[in-house]
Amino acid sequence: MEVSALKIIAYGIRDDERPYVEEWSKDQNIEVKIVKDLLTDDTVDQAKGFDGAVVYQQKPYTASVLDRLAELGVKNLSLRNVGVDNVDADAVKRNDIKVTNVPAYSPAAIAEFTVTELMRLLRHTTQYEHRQAKGDLKWTPDIATELNSLTVGVIATGRIGRAAIQIYRGFGAKIVAYDVFHNPELEKEGIYVDSLDELYKQADVISLHAPATKENMHMLNADAFNKMKDGVYILNPARGDLVDTDDLIKALDSGKVAGAALDVYENEVGIFNTDFGSFDAIPDDRLKNLMKRENVLVSPHIAFYTTTAVRNMVQFALNNNKQLIETGKADNVVAFN
Ligand code: COI
């Protein structure tokens, strides 16, 4: 079979992604150049001669990189993830670059992880692990709470929020939800409250599934925590910027927040997915403050990290890029405002 003339370059390909790129390339009979490095000023010129680029990184897609891509004539950019908060929107617009993302690679991956972390908090598993490592097999002083007796407040009912709701329901929890856009099915079930204040008033657990936008920056801050129930649990598998870390630390100190599971952190770029060799060497005191607490679970942005999700991220992004190149359109074109 003749290899298609179309050529795609894929940046930042990890070892766990490579087989899925190769599988797609073989199935589609399309050449995909695999590059391990991220798309930066230093690597952008490797895109010369390609019709499109497939990318994933947490570091910014800067104006200078996007300008250069456009200069090279590469105007089809397909992200392997959902979030587009690190893409310079002005540069995309002025260069007329078409950007796609993968809005749903596996909502269940994130939802399952979020609920797992909540169960760990409710059952005080960290306390047991720490004590057992020291040979202490006694019950901890803290008795557990059952999820079926709690009200979970879900902020944002997109695909991930809805997948989380399904799981919470399986445990028998009561759900209240807030979103500016109402999902018609959930609307019929009457679970929406009219304001975040109302959600804060009712919820024993806050499950955050909103994107990072200018408006959402630090939506969970001192003011929001004050409106919540005493002993609330906070789950953030979405974006670090949604939570004011200083205010969260104060709310944990005061006991207002009984526990938190954070798969994201405001300053995570360059810190998460890095081995610093020792706890002390982690260059962020606030993060270490959180990590030291038995009632806080910090994980390095891994909620998405399943085989299903990774395969979908890679192959859906490649499909999007192929569509863009062939037709100028794609299933998941991102509208930048
Ligand atoms: C996203 O898809 O935007 C995520 O947050 C997951 C990312 C770490 C791959």
The structure's pTM equals 0.94
- Write down the pLDDT at residue 153: 98
Residues tagged active-site: 239, 268, 301
CB distance 43 to 18 below 8 Å: no
Least confident of 3-17, 35-49, 85-99, 235-249: 3-17
- Write down the pLDDT at residue 3: 58
- Write down the pLDDT at residue 256: 98
Query: In which band, very low, low, confident or very high, does the pLDDT at 337 lie, cut at 50, 70 and 90?
Result: confident
- Write down the pLDDT at residue 141: 84
Best of 13, 57, 81, 299 for a ligand 1 pocket test (most atoms within 8 Å of beta carbon): 81
How many A from CA of 173 to the centre of ligand 1? 27
Contacts of 288 (CB under 8 A, 6+ apart): 279, 282
Best of 14, 55, 80, 82 for a ligand 1 pocket test (most atoms within 8 Å of beta carbon): 82
- Write down the pLDDT at residue 41: 98
Which pair of structure tokens corresponds to residue 312?
């979908």
Residue 2 has pLDDT above 90, yes or no: no
- Write down the pLDDT at residue 140: 83
CB distance 308 to 109 below 8 Å: yes
- pLDDT for 21-73, tens place per residue? 999 999 999 999 999 999 999 999 999 999 999 999 999 999 999 999 999 99
The arithmetic mean of pLDDT across residues 141-153, rounded, is: 96
Residue 294 has pLDDT above 90, yes or no: yes
Domains and CATH numbers, the chain: 7-105+307-327 (3.40.50.720), 107-298 (3.40.50.720)
- Write down the pLDDT at residue 166: 98
Q: How far apart are CA 21 and CA 18, in angstroms?
A: 5
Q: What percent of the chain has pLDDT over 70?
A: 99
How many A from CA of 317 to the centre of ligand 1? 13
- Write down the pLDDT at residue 1: 53
Residue 309 CA: which ligand 1 atom is closest? 9
Q: 314: burial class by Cβ within 10 Å (0-12, 13-18, 19+)?
A: buried
Sign of CA dihedral 129, 134, 137, 141: negative
Residue 299 has pLDDT above 90, yes or no: yes
Strands laid side by side in the 7-10 sheet: 31-34, 7-10, 52-55, 76-79, 98-100
The arithmetic mean of pLDDT across residues 90-110, rounded, is: 97
Residue-averaged pLDDT of the chain: 97
